Copies of this chain bind each other. A is one copy, B any other.
Amino acid sequence: MRGPWWQKRLYDFGYRLTSPRQIIINILRNTDKHLSAEDIYIDAIKTNPSIGLTTVYRTLDLFSQIGVVQKFDFGEGRARYELTNNPLKKDHHHHLVCVNCKSIIDYTDFVNEELELMNKTEKALSEKYQFNIFHHTINFYGMCSKCRIKE
């Protein structure tokens, strides 16, 4: 049972360890950005030109389901993905989204206070509404400095 945590995750769910899955994980491990399926595909074919975009979608779906990656929709008409435990990233963070150029900033300011409140809220909500809560998102939407200058 040696190997990275995400391989254990695959194993536990009865999924196989394949080359495309390893390549995709490595791409996500080596970026601090929020990549789209196409971003990942373009990067992946540098390593193995025979990988299909379909497989990228399927893999990201699978990883989302077993909690290895998180899928986000910031309202640009395409999903973006982030490795759950990315060594290059701040651990738990929230997002600041530019509605104009769609750039995304990970922030951790007040994140401890946020988390404390979110935990309290989560507890109350799960009781009151009988919800089993898995995770949460906090997004701020606005306009970045670059976009404001251009206007």
Task: Chain B residues near A121: list those with CB within 8 A.
Answer: 109-110, 114, 140
The smallest C-beta distance from A148 to any residue of chain B, in angstroms, reads 6
| Residues from chain B with Cβ under 8 Å of A24 in the complex | none
Where chain A touches its partner, the secondary structure class is mixed
Do residues A73 and B75 form an inter-chain contact, with CB atoms below 8 A? yes
A117-B117, A128-B109 as given contacts; A138 in contact with B140, CB under 8 Å: no
| Cross-chain contact A131 with B140 (CB below 8 angstroms) | yes
When chains A and B are docked, how far (Å) is the Cα of A113 from the Cα of B124?
A: 13
Establish whether residues B125 and A145, one from each chain, have CB atoms under 8 Å apart when the complex forms.
Answer: no
A98 CB–B CB distance under 8 Å = yes
- Does A47 touch B at the CB level, under 8 Å? no
| Interface residue count on the A side (C-beta < 8 Å) | 38
A120 and B109 alpha carbons, distance in the complex (Å): 10
Complex alpha-carbon distance, A110 and B71, angstroms? 27
- Set of chain B residues within 8 Å of A142, measured between Cβ atoms: 126, 131-135
Known: A105-B129, A131-B143, A132-B142. 13 other contacts (CB 8 A): A73-B75, A96-B131, A96-B133, A107-B129, A110-B121, A122-B140, A129-B144, A131-B144, A133-B140, A135-B140, A136-B141, A137-B138, A137-B141
A contact set with B: CB distance below 8 Å: 71, 73, 75, 96, 98-99, 105, 107, 109-110, 113-114, 117, 120-122, 124-126, 128-145, 148
